[in-house]
Amino acid sequence: MVVLRTPQGDFTAASGATQVGARSRPGADTHFRIASNTKTMTAAVVLQLAQEGNGKLSLSDPVSKYVPSVPNGDNITIAQLLEMRSGLYNYTNFPELAATIDRDPTRVWTPWAPARLLVAGANAGASGGRDSGSAMGLMVAHDDGGSARSRRP
């Protein structure tokens, strides 16, 4: 589903189906899970910030520079986050998350809600491995002048 708004008007295009095996196309008002689609966009913004070279962000920076509460953040670099190899807990595996989404699929999540799950998972002894990339967005939020850094999960 793509909705493009321009001064000349709106353009809407749909592809696929709303259910496996169905022929009903999604509409502009169809709700669906965005899931990992934002990882690529967030990674692109992180790389652009690093490429600007103004000292705000470097791929070798520790995550703790931007989000102090990330477990083991002093030993995890931004590059490792981008490679999905930070070892951080994948909060999408948290049973409480699935239960909350099932109970209230229209819930609006703050940027810090997934970070709280990430920290809770690590504190509960959950293993890392390929992570969900959740900390990347928090670093981008930090680059807006520090407002993200002043709030912690």
Per-residue pLDDT of the chain (153 residues; tens, 9 = 90+): 778 889 999 988 888 888 888 888 888 788 776 667 778 888 888 898 899 878 788 999 998 888 787 778 898 888 988 888 887 767 777 777 788 888 888 888 776 776 666 666 555 444 445 555 556 655 565 554 444 333 344
d(CA 6, CA 8): 5
pLDDT at res. 121 = 58
User: What pLDDT score does 144 carry?
Assistant: 46
Compute CA distances 127 → 62, 87, 88, 110, 119, whole Å. Answer: 20, 8, 8, 24, 12
Q: How many helices (H) and strands (E) does the chain have?
A: 5, 2
Max Cα-Cα span within the chain: 54
Global pTM?
A: 0.59
pLDDT confidence of residue 126: 45
Which one-letter amino acid corresponds to residue 7? P
**Burial class of residue 76 (count of CB atoms within 10 Å of its CB; 0-12, 13-18, 19+):** buried
Residue 89, both tokens = 């807990």
pLDDT, residue 60, reads 94
21 burial via Cβ count (<10 Å: 0-12, 13-18, 19+): exposed
Given this model, what pLDDT does residue 127 score? Answer: 42
Instruction: Write down the pLDDT at residue 138.
Output: 58
Q: Is 15 exposed, middle or buried (0-12, 13-18, 19+ CB in 10 A)?
A: exposed
